[in-house]
Structure 1
Amino acid sequence: MERKRANRPVLAVTMGDPAGVGPEICAKVLFRREIHEKASPVFYGSPRVLAEAADLLGIKVKAEGNCLVSEGVRIPVVATDEGLDLTVTPGLLTREGAVAMMEAVKRAVVDAREGRVKGVVTCPINKEGIRLAGLDYPGHTEFIRDLTGAERVVMMLAGEKLKVALVTIHLSLREAIERVTKEAVAETVRVVHRDFVEKFGIEKPRVAVAGLNPHAGEGGLFGSEEREIIAPAIEEVRGEGISASGPYPPDTVFYRAYRGEFDVVVAQYHDQG
C-alpha cells in the first residue's frame, strides 16, 4: 500500500483568486478520497481560505502541521499568504488576495521545474488581479512562459474527444487578427505536432487548421487571410512532413475533430477556440 502511495504523481493545485470560485473548487475536489487513489495533490494558497471554503460546503477540516485533514484525507499545504493581512469577501478583489494568488502559481511552477511535483493544476485567477499584484501579464500562460524560460508557448484546451490549440491568446480581437501571421500559424502547428508526438504518443498527428474568417473566407469573399497567410503556412509545415490540412471553416471543423477526423484543431484566436 505504501509503495502504491509513493508511486502516485504529486500534483500542485493552486488556489486561484481567493475571492473567486477557486477555493470552493479545491475544497470540493481535494478532500475526495477517490482523487487520492490516482494522485497526491498539494494545495498552494491560503490554508485558512481553503478551510473556510470547506466549511461552507459542510466539509470539516482541521490543521495538522502543514496539512489540512478531513476524515483521514490529508492535504499538504504550501502557504502563500504568510505576512499578508488577507481578508476575503466573495467577489471582492484585493491586493493581498492578488499577491497570494500569483505567489501560489509562481511557487507551484518553481516546484515543478525543480522536480518536487509532477504537474500543476491551476484554479481560475482574476486577470485584473495580476496587475494588482504588480505583474505585467495578461494571463497564466504568459506568466508561466517566463517562469519556465520557454521561448514559445501554445495554449491548448483538451477534452477526451476534442483538443484545440490557439495561435493567439490574450489579446483584443483587433490585435489578435493582426497577430495572425504566416510565421505564427506555422510555428503553432510545429509546436502542436511536436508535443502530440512526444507527449501524446501519436506518431503522425492529424492537425486541422481553422480559417480566420466566416466560412474560411469563402474564396476571398469574406477576407483574404486564408489565401494569403494561413494556406501558405500550412503548405510550409507540410513540406516538413507535418500532417496539417486546411484552412477549414471554423463552424464545422470542431465537429469534424470531435468525430475523430482530426487529432487536434489549431484555432486562430482565443474565443474561436
Structure 2
Amino acid sequence: MKPVIAITMGDFNGIGPEVALKAANSHLVRRIAIPVLVGSLDVFEYYAKLYKMKISIREVDPEYFGVEDIPRSNSDDIPLIVVRKFQKPKIKLGKISFEAGQLAVESIITAAVLNLKYGIDGIVTAPISKAAVNFNGLHFPGQTELLAAIYKTEKYAMILACDNFRVGLATIHIPISQVASSITTKLVAEKISTLNNSMKIDFGIKKPKIAVLGLNPHAGENGLLGNEEKTTILPAMKLAKQDGANVSGPFPSDGFFGIGSYKNFDAILAMYHDQGLIPLKLLGFVKGVNFTAGLPVVRTSPDHGTAFSIAGKGITDPSSTIEAVRLAVEVIKNRNQHIPKKTIRKK
C-alpha cells in the first residue's frame, strides 16, 4: 500500500499553498504516495481558482473515517484535513500576518497529530514565515525545532539533501555570533551519531563515510586561526569513531567543496547553517530537500522559503516539494526494513 503523506499548507501569504497543491496534484506524487493536504479549504480553493488548476479537494475527517480509509478511496480527489473551522482567512499576498503564522503552526501540529494518533506515514511541510510565527508568541526558530519539541526529541539533525549530496548541520537557526560558543564536543559527537544512524536507517547506506568540516578558515591552520578544531571537533570525532562511525576531517570547507572532495563521502557535517546550505543550493537549488533526522516521524520539506515576492503569480516551481515527497517515501520504505510499521489506530 502506498504511504500516506500529509502536506502542510505553509504560510498562506507566500508560495506554500501553491507548491503544496502542485505537488499533491502531480503524477509522480500520486503514483508513489497518497497525498493529504493539511490546512484551510478556503485557502486551497482560493489558490486553485487563482491558478485555474484542474483539481478537486475533498474534506475528510479522521475522527470519523480514520486515515487508514483514505488509500482505499477510488476518488481522484485530493483529501484535505481541515485544521479548524474558523472565519475565512484574509489572504494578503506577499505580506507577513499574525493569522498566516497562526494557521501555519496549527497545520504543522495537526499533521503531527495525524501521525501520532492515526499513524499517517510522513509529513512534508511547506515553507513558513518565521516572523509571522513569532507574531504569535511562539519562539521557535524553525519548523525543525517545533517538530522536535512536539515529539520531545532532543537528539535530531537537519539534513539537506540533493541526489547523493547530503549535509547535516551542527548548529541550525542561530546568529553567526553564537556559533562558536554553541559548538561543543558533546554536540558535535551527537550530531555525527545522528547523521551516521540516519544514513544507515533512513538512506539505506550500510557503511556510511562521513566528512566533518572545520569551523575556522583553513580548519584553524593548526591553531593559528582558531582552536575549535583541536579542542572541540577532533575530540568529538574520536568519540564517534569509538562508537563505530567512519568519520574523517575536519576539512577546510572552501577547499573541500572547491576540489569536489564531497563526492567521496555519503554525508557531511557542517558547523553552521550557511556553511552547509550555500554549496547545496549551488549544486541543486531546485531539487534540494530538508530532512529531519532523529524524529520518530519521517519529515521533509522543500529547501526554499515563502518567496513572498512571487506569491500569487503562479510561477513557482514545485520540484523541491515533489522531491520532498519522493524522499519521504524512500525514507519510509528504508525505515520499514529496520523498524516494524506502527499499526494505524482509530479513535
Higher relative contact order structure (alpha carbons within 8 Å, sequence separation ≥ 6): 2
User: Alignment partner of 1:265: what SS?
Assistant: strand
Equivalent pairs: percent with the same residue? 35
2:243 maps to a residue whose letter is E
1:11 and 2:16 correspond: no
Indicate the residue corresponding to 2:315 in structure 1: none
1:179-190 matched pairs, under 5 angstroms: 179-190=182-193
1:210 to 207, 210, 213: 213
Matched, 1:53 2:47: yes
- 3-state DSSP of counterpart to 1:20: coil
User: Match of 2:77, SS?
Assistant: strand
Q: How does 1:143-182 map to 2 (within 5 A)?
A: 143-182=146-185
1:114 is displaced (CA, Å) by 3.1
Measure how far apart 1:115 and its partner are.
4.4
* Pair 1:230–1:87, CA change in 2 (3 A): same
Q: Deviations over 1:155-204 (max 9, x none)?
A: 11012120000010010001122101111111110111122222222222
Tell me if 1:221 matches 2:232. Answer: no
Equivalent of 2:261 in 236, 251, 256: 256
In the other structure, the counterpart of 1:123 is 126
Cα distance, 1:61 vs. partner?
4.0
Cα deviation 1:241-273 (Å, max 9, x = unaligned): 21111000111334322x2x1110000011111
2-side partners of 1:205 and 1:12: how far apart? 29
Pair 1:264–1:63, CA change in 2 (3 A):
closer
TM-score (norm 1): 0.90
1:191 and 2:194 equivalent? Answer: yes
Q: Is the 8 A contact 1:102 1:133 kept in 2?
A: no
Instruction: Summarize the Cα distance change of 1:121–1:213 in structure 2 as closer, same or farther, 3 Å threshold.
Output: same
Stretches of structure 2 that go unaligned for 5 or more consecutive residues are 62-74, 277-347
Separation in 1 of the partners of 2:146 and 2:138? 9
- Matched to 1:44, the amino acid is V
Partner letter of residue 40 of structure 2? S
Q: Aligned equivalents of 2:218 and 2:195: distance in 1?
A: 24
Secondary structure at the counterpart of residue 36 of structure 1:
helix
Aligned length: 261
The alpha-carbon distance between structure 1 residues 174 and 87, as it changes in their structure 2 partners (threshold 3 A), is same
Preserved CA contact (<8 Å) 2:23 2:29: yes
CA offsets 1:227-250 (integer angstroms, 9 cap, x no match):
221111111211222111100011
1:66-115 Cα shifts (integer Å, max 9, x gaps): 49xxxx73111111252244100111122222111100000101212234
Distance (Å, rounded) in 2 between the aligned partners of 1:232 and 1:20: 43
Q: Which residue identity lines up with residue 33 of structure 1 in the other structure?
A: H
* RMSD of aligned alpha carbons: 1.8
**Whole-angstrom distance in 2 between the partners of 1:256 and 1:141:** 28
Give, in whole Å, the separation in 2 of the partners of 1:14 and 1:159: 21
Moved over 3 A (4+): 60-67
Cα separation, 2, equivalents of 1:32 and 1:238: 43
Aligned residue for 2:275, secondary structure, equals coil
Q: Which of these residues, 239, 243, 251, is aligned with residue 242 of structure 2?
A: 239
Structure 1 unmatched runs, 5+: 1-6
